[in-house]
Structure 1
Amino acid sequence: MKRNNRRSALKSLVTASLCAPIAVGGQAVIEGVMMRGPKAMAIAIRRADGGIFVKEGKWRSFGRKLTFLKWPFIRGSVVLAEAMINGIQALNFSAQEALAGIDNDGKRTNADNLSNKAIALAMLSSVAVGLCLFLVIPHLASSFLLKILGAGGGVRSFAFHALDGLIKMLIFINYILLIGRMADIKRLFGYHGAEHKAIYTYEANKELCIANAKGYSTLHPRCGTAFIMVVVFVSIGVFATVIPLISFSGTGWYVTGEIILTKISLMLPIAGIAYEITRLADKDAMRRFAAPLIYPGLLIQTLTTSNPTDDQLEVAIEALKRALKMENDQSID
């Protein structure tokens, strides 16, 4: 009975989200929340003195000028890159504002701000660490385990890529469990939950206030966590299909390097396919087919979100209000 109730609740979450009037997304940052619409972005931060500071700005997608970047199977990679850039910029700003203090003269002091070069370096470092954790290590571990088990087929078998995907998910889950023990990350997970609750309130066309937001779930199907899970499932199918078709010339570690580089080159197309699957979920006829791919992401979010405090909800709601206000401002079109 509990399982049926949970399944029904998850279905209602998916349906409510996919009927949203405007696609609004967000991200939890240090002591705050970033909210972004199609053309505007707002970051609300809870400062050390208890006040809320909001930074507003126009947002212009790369595809606004280069229309080919909006093409199906290309736009997904663009969205992913933009999310990384926005995320690092928002985290940098939130760190600066959250750590701001008062000096001996009663004047406000700022934490050091990152330069564009530092932001680019941080993004590249994040990509490198991500590729190592979720591509190189799972590949090597899958190869090692299949040799121990004496399974045939190697990297050209579906079993290899299914095991590879399973290891990716295990690494991801354990990584979340590990960092979730840190006090600052626990606070971040609270803001993550507040972000989702605020967005649900908006999607339900209710007044954006703490009382209304409290009643909603901390799990949201359009969260980046859900997208990551779709990417994992898609990668299993793509790798199992493409890798056997390629003739690798090397042997030993050399051929292993060739295969890993091939997988890296396939990540952008995989992100594009995963994005199109999430887009298909917006269509009534496709929802029941897309839902099974979304549900695992919702379950993983039970680890990356927590029930927020009223103070955290207040910050998320303020960020969303300011972003929506800019979205409705015709002068920024």
Structure 2
Amino acid sequence: MLSLHKPKAERGIHAVNANGSGPKPLYGGQAVIEGVMMRGPRFMAVAMRDPKGKIVLHSEALSPIYTSRWAKVPFLRGLLLLWDALGLGSRVLGLSANVQAETEDETLEGTPLLLTMLASFGMAIGLFFVLPAGLAHLVERYFTLSPLAGNLLEGVLRLAILLGYLWAVGRMEEIRRVFGYHGAEHKTIHAYEAGLKLTPKTVDKFPLEHPRCGTAFLLTVIVLSILVFTLIGPLPLLLRLLLRVLLIPVLAGVAYEYLRFTAANMRNPLVRVLVAPNLALQRLTTRPPDAKMLEVGIAAFNEMLRLETSKTAKPKALKLKPAKAAKR
């Protein structure tokens, strides 16, 4: 799952070198098909195993949005970085699929990428916001529930749909492998932030859960929606659905700031209690990785770190055979 944390060292939001010499920049990542993507403020790298078992690498410079002034504006930065991160996530997923096919299919850029992202957003909004709101409205009218009870029911349904969806997709073998690479991503970042040498043996000692995981963003938005929508009085169905959709950007912006705050204060006992549900949810989106998955996560991280720590290093673009040529 995609890490939504801004990958940049900031006061109070950093890992400390093992020798206590100072802060390390924070990095994020995402699991892809048979691989892991790691990203910093300037570059991203993705490592994947091809059908022959060989690790292949692709790296590139990131959008300037991650280091722009807009990325420093509270609440707005969450929306901007989330949108760009989703676009990047869609592209690297497409790349990993092409690696498994050993062909270079149509590149997901421009209009196709925008349409894919809009379709994904539409499905997510329909499943997690419109559906529970509509069901709660029907139950509220049929059983003559109070608006407060109806809104609480809507929140419970929304949370149940999220948990059920994650559980269901996690039963698929292909997704279970992606979740294994998700665990490899978390363990690798944990090991780096602990100041240890990145080897499969040392990396595997760390937990599957990570406080900056993008999975936490989903749960935070759901919980915030329960708190906000419960306070709203009775509304006609269409207005109720419209309000849910319109408030999503607001909820997303608040959720992002909340995650930044908790990531900055993980040593606080109260914060640890607050983030416990987010960490628990990651049990549905991660699986224990095997040694080969850990090797891939380490390869992606090392390539990203090579670019982030050098002023002269250049990205390595992966070249695949064109789809038409591969079919001959």
Q: Is the CA contact 1:28–1:188 (under 8 Å) kept in the aligned structure 2?
A: yes
Shift of 1:18: 6.1
Supply the AA of the counterpart residue of 2:134. L
Give the SS at the match of 2:26.
coil
Supply the AA of the counterpart residue of 2:151. H
For 2:100 and 2:313, locate their aligned partners in 1 and report how far apart those are by CA, in whole Å.
28
Aligned to 1:94: 96
Supply the AA of the counterpart residue of 2:248. M
In the alignment, is residue 26 of structure 1 matched against residue 29 of structure 2?
yes
Q: 1:141 aligns with which of 135, 159, 183?
A: 135
Within 5 Å, give how 1:256-275 maps onto structure 2: 256-275=237-256
Q: Per the alignment, do residues 27 and 93 of structure 1 end up closer, same or farther by CA in structure 2, a change over 3 Å counting?
A: same
For 1:79 and 1:151, locate their aligned partners in 2 and report how far apart those are by CA, in whole Å.
40
1:73-126 per-residue CA deviation (whole Å, 9 max, x = no partner) reads 1111112112211110110111111221xxxxxxxx444443432222111110
Shift of 1:325: 1.4
Q: Is the CA contact 1:230–1:293 (under 8 Å) kept in the aligned structure 2?
A: no
Aligned to 2:5: none
Unaligned runs of 5+ in 2: 1-12, 17-23, 315-328
For 1:160 and 1:221, locate their aligned partners in 2 and report how far apart those are by CA, in whole Å.
32
For 2:206 and 2:61, locate their aligned partners in 1 and report how far apart those are by CA, in whole Å.
29
Q: Per the alignment, do residues 286 and 148 of structure 1 end up closer, same or farther by CA in structure 2, a change over 3 Å counting?
A: farther
For 2:281 and 2:105, locate their aligned partners in 1 and report how far apart those are by CA, in whole Å.
33
Q: Is the CA contact 1:28–1:195 (under 8 Å) kept in the aligned structure 2?
A: yes
Aligned to 2:257: 276
Q: 2:215 aligns with which of 203, 217, 225?
A: 225
Supply the AA of the counterpart residue of 1:41. M
Q: Per the alignment, do residues 52 and 218 of structure 1 end up closer, same or farther by CA in structure 2, a change over 3 Å counting?
A: same
Q: 2:45 aligns with which of 31, 42, 45?
A: 42
Equivalent pairs counted in the alignment come to: 295
For 2:37 and 2:178, locate their aligned partners in 1 and report how far apart those are by CA, in whole Å.
12
Supply the AA of the counterpart residue of 1:200. H
Task: Please provide the CA RMSD for this pair.
Answer: 2.3
Aligned to 2:73: 71
Shift of 1:288: 3.8
Within 5 Å, give how 1:168-179 maps onto structure 2: 168-179=158-169
Aligned to 2:111: 117
Comparing 273-282 with 189-198, greater Cα deviation is found at 273-282
1:156-203 per-residue CA deviation (whole Å, 9 max, x = no partner) reads x3x333322221121111112222222211111111111111111111
Aligned to 2:320: none
TM-score by length of 1: 0.82
Give the SS at the match of 2:74.
coil
Shift of 1:64: 3.8
Comparing 84-93 with 280-289, greater Cα deviation is found at 280-289
Q: Per the alignment, do residues 215 and 68 of structure 1 end up closer, same or farther by CA in structure 2, a change over 3 Å counting?
A: closer
In the alignment, is residue 161 of structure 1 matched against residue 155 of structure 2?
no
Aligned to 2:8: none
- Name the % identity: 35
Aligned to 1:56: 59
TM-score by length of 2: 0.83
Unaligned runs of 5+ in 1: 1-16, 101-108, 249-254
Which structure shows the higher helix fraction? 1
Shift of 1:317: 0.6
Supply the AA of the counterpart residue of 2:152. A
Give the SS at the match of 1:211.
helix
Within 5 Å, give how 1:170-319 maps onto structure 2: 170-241=160-231, 243-244=232-233, 255-284=236-265, 287-319=268-300
Aligned to 2:20: none
Q: Is the CA contact 1:31–1:46 (under 8 Å) kept in the aligned structure 2?
A: yes
Q: Per the alignment, do residues 138 and 332 of structure 1 end up closer, same or farther by CA in structure 2, a change over 3 Å counting?
A: farther
Supply the AA of the counterpart residue of 2:280. L
1:111-160 per-residue CA deviation (whole Å, 9 max, x = no partner) reads 444343222211111000000000000101222233344322x2xx3x33
1:5-61 per-residue CA deviation (whole Å, 9 max, x = no partner) reads xxxxxxxxxxxx964622211110011011111111001111011111111111134
Q: Is the CA contact 1:61–1:82 (under 8 Å) kept in the aligned structure 2?
A: no
Supply the AA of the counterpart residue of 1:51. K
